[in-house]
Chain A
């Protein structure tokens, strides 16, 4: 409750960017009109796709689950309003790949009729596992943009005691203000959400980090904390440096700890959640409402009236643009997310998804032409601003020459694609594009490698099985032969006993002597006798090879 002066640290590099935030913070969060039709992509998160529970023609209620998670890392989607399922098929969805994805199309009936909602204001009596389950079935994913299922993050696993919960209200990308407006208007929901997460994680300390360019949000949070009377949540104003809202960067700023490259924040006793996620958890727990809407910033020079609005998941983006009084004349780029990390979309008929924090419309003068790139002059500005301390110019060099082993030696996969390097590049090289290309290419190769490994293993198994069968067959044959042989010998012996003949006996004696001699010669030492274990092993291996060839 009392605001302690919290010591802060720095991460390497970063940029001071023009904020461009005031355009969209002038008006309160607007409500959007209920669209006639909603298109809800089944897969809106990181992880496995859920199983569709409804059929075409079904009537669904607002908040009714449309899918059911099929794996641990998965999240369901819910009907954002009541209506009828019109179609379940592939539709274009907002994704950098521009591929279509399975969607449930709901025609709204205008009644907006909720399912039976259950409040769990007594959540403190719930076990962490039950709370996680509630969050999981509410379809809550990280609302900062990554859309990772929240329930997974709430389970740090055995042996991980979470010391600090960090609520991320940094919102470091220019233009985006949905978290800022949420904190200003619904700070109490964020605080309640933080309390619930603290309970689920059994954490005694919580920090809410907000960039110091949002004084209104900081004030609102502090008021909400004193109103709620919680003493373990501190609001920390952090310097406005892009990308301080990145998970690992923010942890470094607040704790001076580095999350290991191949690890998770939980490994160093930290869990981080976005402010929007915290508010969504509050709604799920206190009101029983699943995640069916989110706040979206609609902004940019290409938008007539930039603002924030609460939008049902599945609403077509064009409806949001319309509500913001449409495009400006020279609008030429539609971006989901911010200018630094967002991706462009080819049309505005796509549905809003859980990860859609901002629709940014840029005008033609706001970005450079990618075709004007000059050669790299190795000025090193990119390395100076890289928040991960990579050498972007070396990564570029190796990525452009398709030297994929080298590019991994330079830790390509630690790149967070924040775009700082490309932003400062005097040669205007679209660096991030090269890194994405290299990553995709390496993933593809690994997949191919896995496939061929799989095929090789299968082939080896088959070969081994065939060899085994062959050996067994030979063994059986040999046994059979032996038996026959024995039988013959036994018969012959019987004959000998009956027909005594001195001549035959002499011949037999001579034969026995020869055989004896041969056996003695065979007993004499050979070069294969007295072998060391290693030599014996080599011989065995050679024999084995001979057999298999």
Chain B
């Protein structure tokens, strides 16, 4: 790395280095960002969830979308793997099934950026223990 010769140098350097810690910064306030959970149980991984996850991280990074992509356990929709759950800020989570790289692009393009719904949504009709307790 070259020497910092001016404030502009430092700013440029900071922007380049930002990705190093951005993951940690984002994780401090996840509710303000797009959150994507990829179901990564055995069935998911066997159906290609790992590639989809990598693809989504790279694609959203390329398009400079502030998002956290995490993996999670089996969501139960084994028939529709790989499945992902997308939570936009201030809205309820939406689960998409049969997600491959192409579908992932569509989801990013239409749902994440424009907020339009796309085919392949799995209706979520269960309650979690936590929700139950709050009622």
A binds B: no
Binding site for B on A (CB under 8 A): none
